[in-house]
Structure 1
Amino acid sequence: MSFVRDAHGRWSVSEVTNQSTGYCPDASSWPAVAAALERAGIGHPGGFTHEFVFRWCPECAELNVVRERVFVCALCDAELEP
């Protein structure tokens, strides 16, 4: 997250992504993120500014970030769940 403060001293988030290779949150987690920011009184952009799709490889158990809708493991070339 990138936090900024406006001229009135209010905090807001200018960028938010779901890129977390430990937790691997799905893009559908945005409502929970928005609710937490709103409870804290922090403005937000209304959605993830960059959304990431994660898949675990069934063959080698490597975590993959899916790019350009190519559901293939970057390490072993196994097919990933779409």
Structure 2
Amino acid sequence: MTVAAAASATLVGVVLLAVGLFGVLRPYTVALWRERIDAVGSTRSWDEVEPTEWRVTIARYTFAILLGGGVLFLWMAAQQWLKLR
């Protein structure tokens, strides 16, 4: 184990945790952003679109998986840091 591997795992864990936490707490915002991207090129204006409930639910579960991945990476990083001591 090297310090670089432990630092990389820590960085990836923090990023996944932050992104996952945002998506779990604000799934409507993420789904709305996705709908606005999908509206590009459409005849509807981007401020008239609303995400469906299933898209909000998918966003919530997707970001919950990212949140879990962040926790897992931080746990692995903690194990690596402890082995380096």
TM over 0.5, shorter chain: no
Q: TM-score, normalised by structure 2?
A: 0.27
TM-score normalised according to structure 1 size: 0.28
The structure whose RCO (Cα within 8 Å, separation 6+) is larger is: 2
* Structure of higher CA gyration radius: 2
Structure ranking higher in strand proportion? 1
